Structures are given as C-alpha cells and as structure tokens.
C-alpha cells in the first residue's frame, strides 16, 4: 500500500496531486490524518483522510509520501507515528518520498546522508549530509525528493513511474497533459 501523510497545514497540491495520479495509475493509495481525521491544508481546504494513525499497518506500506507546507511539515516532523512509519518503510526496503519542506523530515533523521536530494529553497540546511541538487525532482535509490508545489505533477509522475513503470507513467501523464510530458526526474 502507498501511504500519504496529512498534517494540519499541509500543501494541498503537493498532497492531492500524487494521490490523484497514483490512483489513475491503478495504485492503492491511502491518506492518513496524522493530526486528525479531517485535516485542513495550508490554504484552508479541509480533506477527510482515509485512515487514522492507529489504522495504519506500517509493514504493509511500500511507499510513504510526505507532502510539504507549513506548518504541516513541522507537524510531520514532530509525529511519533511518522517517525515509526519512516523507520519501518526504510528498514523493509520500501520507498520514501518528500516534497517542498518535507525532505527536512528525512534529512533530520539521517536518511539523506550521501544521497542526492532537493527541497524548497531555504531548507537545504536540514538535508544533513545530502548532495543538494538543482533539479525539480530527484530519485536516489529508494528516496524521491522534489522542490515544491510547482513541480507536484512531475513529482507525482515520478512516483507513478517508480511504482507502475515508464509506460503507465507516460500514459497517465499524457492523459492529463496531451501537449507533452513534464520534465523527467533526475535519477541516481
């Protein structure tokens, strides 16, 4: 199962674009409300999460997605649930993905050390030991990071590519952008 975290103050586009694109690709994606069942985004949009934290079986999560936004990222960083999910997914060989400010959550825990990564400008100091790239989206091994809301579609397309393959990623992207595909991610 793919799990996307929602915390009060999350960036709506960074959260909902990957959910939408992955579901279009036929992937099983669930949202979890870290701060409650109904979670309000940074721009006042309430979203009802599929799951509460106690409903999550971490061993079933194959991809954990952390959207950015403030104070959403701060709430993710402070969550014992999120901390445990990250540890479980990384230990079991699953994938981690974070966009905008949220790569700081991975960086502060040492998951980006020696890896290529990106984040929203100004959060680079939190990417402890990372090789900070100047690219919209970067995948290094089992970790994908992205710069921010403006590249949410490219981030989502990369997650579809990683979970369903190139052909499905291209098909889903072209079904929403018939005039061309977004810039692909850098992969290391």
Q: What are phi and psi of 6, to 5 degrees?
A: -125, 130
Pairwise CA distance, residues 163 & 156, whole Å: 11
* Sequence-ordered strand ranges (E) for 75-161: 95-99, 116-117, 131-132, 137-140, 143-146
Both structure tokens of 147: 């710069």
Q: Which of 64, 100, 127, 146 is catalytic?
A: 100
Give Cα 152 to chain centroid, integer Å.
9
Residue 100 falls in the annotated catalytic set: yes
Burial letters 44-81, b for 16+ CB under 10 A, else e: eeebebbbebeebebeebebbbbbbbebbbbbbbebeb
Which residues are designated catalytic? Answer: 100
């Amino acid at each position: 199962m793919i799990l996307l975290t929602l915390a009060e103050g999350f960036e709506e586009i960074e959260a909902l674009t990957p959910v939408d694109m992955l579901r279009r690709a036929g992937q099983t994606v669930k949202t979890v409300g870290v701060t409650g069942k109904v979670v309000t985004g940074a721009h006042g949009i309430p979203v009802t999460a599929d799951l509460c934290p106690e409903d999550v079986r971490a061993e079933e999560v194959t991809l954990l997605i952390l959207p950015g936004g403030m104070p959403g990222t701060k709430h993710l960083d402070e969550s014992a649930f999120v901390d445990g999910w990250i540890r479980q997914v990384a230990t079991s060989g699953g994938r981690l993905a974070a966009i905008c400010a949220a790569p700081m959550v991975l960086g502060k825990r040492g998951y980006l050390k020696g890896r290529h990564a990106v984040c929203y400008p100004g959060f680079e100091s939190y990417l402890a030991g990372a090789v900070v790239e100047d690219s919209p989206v970067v995948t290094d091994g089992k970790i994908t990071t992205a710069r921010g809301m403006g590249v949410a579609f490219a981030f989502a397309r990369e997650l579809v590519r990683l979970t369903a393959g190139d052909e499905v990623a291209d098909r889903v992207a072209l079904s929403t952008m018939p005039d061309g595909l977004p810039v692909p991610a850098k992969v290391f």
